[in-house]
Amino acid sequence: MNNILLVTGGSGLVGNAIQYCVKEKYNDFFSKTFYLSSKDADLNNFEDTLNIFEKIIPTHVIHLAANVGGLYKNLYNKVEMFETNMLININVLRCCHKLNVDNLICCLSTCIFPDKTTYPIDETMLHNGPPHYSNNAYAYAKRMLECQCSYYNENFKRKYKCVIPTNIYGPYDNYNLINAHVIPALIHKCYISKQENKPFIIKGSGKPLRQFIYSKDLAELILWTMFHYNDLDSIILSVSEKHEISIKDVALTIAKEFNYDNIIFDSSFEDGQYKKTASNEKLMKLYNYKFTPFNIGIKESVSWFIKNFDKCRK
């Protein structure tokens, strides 16, 4: 049987890491691989989505495509964040079902967990209360993706699985200063600050805590989930609780890579959710994975950004 892999969101941060890992470890398994970008199909449109699926006829699908952004994009564009992500997810899963794809992995996020909760968060707590107001539109759309997968599994005996990564960073990210996630935005901002010899200003106090996973680590774990995780319940893919780090320390680590120490934290800006500590106990019981140390991941990410500054997304 020809095994054909289709990755939605294949040109982005995680998609590029998936490409790298497939070439390294799974090249002999897949006869063909397709990494879709928004140029290939409008996944908000069902006919567009169906056309590309019928052209490829995949046997395995990794669904990464989403309308994503940092704190302020989520705060100020809630209708867009909810509607586009709902449409993308509905269209992709309908097409997977229509083409009889059983091996589907969908990517969620730990930001979808309840705001008011006990820590650490685990997989059983996903629907225990509303998410933080700052990103609730995106979070609810992603929660519905988890529900959608479970309904296909229940009604049609599919094997659709969801992974829940913590904050992702690495090469090929979106470095837009307004809409990017925290690490790529800070990398770009620090680069400009040093170029212009101006203060590296971080919005907020720097106190919030986050767990970060390097994109190559996540790619390896997604492929492990596809081939070796036999449960249909969602699984958190994350570094351990002890590797939770403050935004202040993230900024300082980035600044160190640029050899720049003119740093200011502007507390007049909102911090967002203080913490959302996730447990990786379920993962580690099944697979004792060795994660890339944060300082090494940041070093590689900053190096990639500098080398690719003229052509990277920003």
Q: Does the pLDDT at position 9 exceed 90?
A: yes
Tens of pLDDT, residues 151-194? 999 999 999 999 999 999 999 999 998 878 899 999 999 999 99
Tens of pLDDT, residues 262-288? 999 999 988 878 888 999 999 999 999
What are the tokens at 110? Answer: 């730990």
CATH class of 4-169+211-241: alpha beta
Q: Is the peptide bond before 120 cis (omega within 30 degrees of 0)?
A: yes
Burial status of residue 222 (CB atoms within 10 A of its CB: 0-12, 13-18, 19 or more): buried
Domain ranges of the chain: 4-169+211-241
CB within 8 A of 213, min separation 6: which ones?
Answer: 165, 166, 167, 168, 169, 237, 238, 239, 291
Q: How far is the C-alpha of 46 from the C-alpha of 308, rounded, in Å?
A: 34
Active site residue 133: no
Tens of pLDDT, residues 204-233? 999 999 999 999 999 999 999 999 999 999
Given the residues 76, 133, 138, 260, select the one marked as catalytic: 138
pLDDT of residue 124: 95
Q: How far does Cα 119 stand from its chain's mean position?
A: 21
Q: Is 56 helix (H, G, I), strand (E, B) or coil?
A: helix
